[in-house]
Amino acid sequence: MTDSTNKEIGRQPSPYFGYLTKALGTLGSIATTMLGLLFITFVIGRVMPIDPIIAVLGERASKEAYDAMYIEMGLDKPVIIQFLNYIWDVVRGDFGMSLLNARPVVDDIIRVFPATLELATIGTMIGVVLGVPLGVVAAVNRGTWIDQIARVIALVGYSMPIFWLGLVGLLVFYGILGWVGGPGRIGIFYVDLVPTVTGLILVDSIIDGQWDVFWDAVSHIILPASLLGYYSLAYISRMTRSFMLEQMGAEYIITARVKGMSEWAVIWRHAFANIKVPLITVIALSYANLLEGSVLTEIIFAWPGIGSYITTALLSADMNAVLGGTVVVGLLFVCLNIFSDLLYKFFDPRAK
Amino acid sequence: MNSAPETKGSARQLEAWLLSNTPTSRRHARLGSLYKGWLKLKSNKLAMLGLFILIALVVIAILAPIISPADPFEQNLGNRLKPLGTEGHFLGTDSLGRDLLSRLIYGSQITLYIVALVALIAPVAGLFVGTMAGYLGGWADVVLMRVTDIFLAFPRLVLALAFVAALGAGIENAVIAISLTAWPPYARIARAETLTIRNSDYISAVKLQGAGGLRIIVKHIWPLCISSLIVRVTLDMAGIILAAAGLGFLGLGAQPPSPEWGAMVSEGRKFILDHWWVATVPGLAIFTVSLGFNLLGDGLRDVLDPKDSGDE
> A100-114, B4-18, B55-69, B212-226: which range is least confident on average?
B4-18
Pick the CATH number of A105-351 from 1.10.3720.10, 3.40.50.300, 3.40.605.10, 3.40.50.620: 1.10.3720.10
Per-residue model confidence (pLDDT) at position A129: 95
- Confidence category of residue B7, pLDDT binned at 50, 70, 90: low
For chains A and B, what is the number of CB pairs under 8 angstroms? 152
| Candidates A36, A49, A151; nearest CB to B168 | A49
Task: Mark out the alpha helices in chain A (DSSP H runs).
Answer: 3-11, 15-47, 52-57, 63-72, 79-91, 105-140, 145-159, 162-169, 201-208, 211-248, 251-258, 263-265, 272-300, 306-315, 319-347
- Confidence category of residue B269, pLDDT binned at 50, 70, 90: confident
Chain B partners of A322 at a C-beta cutoff of 8 Å?
161-162, 165
Report the percentage of chain B scoring pLDDT > 90: 14
The domain spans of chain A are 15-91, 105-351
Say if the Cβ atoms of A48 and B153 lie within 8 Å.
no
Compute φ and ψ for B104, nearest 5 degrees.
-60, -45
Per-residue model confidence (pLDDT) at position A3: 46
A161 touches chain B (CB under 8 A): yes
In the predicted structure, residue B294 carries a pLDDT above the cut 80: yes
Q: Give chain B's mean pLDDT.
A: 83
Per-residue model confidence (pLDDT) at position B266: 87
Which residues partner with A97 through β-bridges? A104
In the predicted structure, residue A242 carries a pLDDT above the cut 80: yes
Question: Could you give the CA distance from residue A77 to residue B64 in angstroms, rounded to a whole number?
Answer: 55
Per-residue model confidence (pLDDT) at position B152: 80
Q: Tell whether omega for the bond before B257 is within 30 degrees of 0, i.e. cis.
A: yes
Question: Could you give the CA distance from residue A140 to residue A150 in angstroms, rounded to a whole number?
Answer: 12
In the predicted structure, residue B286 carries a pLDDT above the cut 90: yes
Estimate to the nearest angstrom the gap between the alpha carbon of B286 and the chain centroid.
Answer: 13
Say if the Cβ atoms of A330 and B154 lie within 8 Å.
yes
- Confidence category of residue A127, pLDDT binned at 50, 70, 90: very high
B161 touches chain A (CB under 8 A): yes
Chain B partners of A151 at a C-beta cutoff of 8 Å?
46, 298
Average pLDDT for residues A127-135, to the nearest whole number?
Answer: 94
- What is the tally of helices (H) and strands (E) in chain B? 14, 0
| Candidates A33, A171, A241; nearest CB to B153 | A33
For chain B, the C-alpha Rg in angstroms (whole number) is 24
Q: Give the DSSP H or E segment for B152.
A: helix B138-153
CA atoms within 13 A on the CB side of A160: 26
Per-residue model confidence (pLDDT) at position A230: 93
Close Cβ partners of B98 (under 8 Å, ≥ 6 residues apart): B70, B72, B73, B74, B75, B76
Report the percentage of chain B scoring pLDDT > 70: 95
In the predicted structure, residue B230 carries a pLDDT above the cut 60: yes
B150 touches chain A (CB under 8 A): yes
More confident site: B280 or B77:
B280
Per-residue model confidence (pLDDT) at position A45: 77
Average pLDDT for residues B241-255, to the nearest whole number?
Answer: 87
The domain spans of chain B are 1-43, 45-304
- Confidence category of residue A7, pLDDT binned at 50, 70, 90: very low
**Whether CATH 3.40.50.10420 fits B45-304:** no
- Confidence category of residue A15, pLDDT binned at 50, 70, 90: low
In the predicted structure, residue A49 carries a pLDDT above the cut 80: no
A182 touches chain B (CB under 8 A): no
In the predicted structure, residue B59 carries a pLDDT above the cut 90: yes
What is the 3-class SS of A313-348, one letter each residue?
A: HHHCCCHHHHHHHHHHHHHHHHHHHHHHHHHHHHHC
Three-class SS of residue B209?
Answer: coil
Say if the Cβ atoms of B155 and A29 lie within 8 Å.
no
More confident site: A195 or A161:
A161
Average pLDDT for residues A276-291, to the nearest whole number?
Answer: 84
Shortest distance between the Cα of A277 and any Cα of chain B, in A, equals: 19
Nearest 5°: the CA angle A136, A285, B242 is: 95
In the predicted structure, residue A90 carries a pLDDT above the cut 60: yes
Say if the Cβ atoms of A167 and B155 lie within 8 Å.
no
Range 79-98 of A in CB contact (< 8 A) with B = none
Question: Could you give the CA distance from residue B38 to residue B32 in angstroms, rounded to a whole number?
Answer: 10
In the predicted structure, residue B82 carries a pLDDT above the cut 50: yes
Write out pLDDT tens, residues B126-152.
Answer: 999 999 998 888 888 888 888 888 888
Average pLDDT for residues B56-60, to the nearest whole number?
Answer: 92
- Confidence category of residue A351, pLDDT binned at 50, 70, 90: low
Write out pLDDT tens, residues A151-175.
Answer: 889 989 889 988 899 888 888 888 8
Chain B partners of A170 at a C-beta cutoff of 8 Å?
272
Per-residue model confidence (pLDDT) at position A83: 85
Per-residue model confidence (pLDDT) at position B39: 84
Q: Give the DSSP H or E segment for B71.
A: none
Question: Could you give the CA distance from residue A257 to residue A267 in angstroms, rounded to a whole number?
Answer: 10
Q: Which amino acid is at A90?
A: V
- Confidence category of residue A319, pLDDT binned at 50, 70, 90: confident
Per-residue model confidence (pLDDT) at position B309: 42
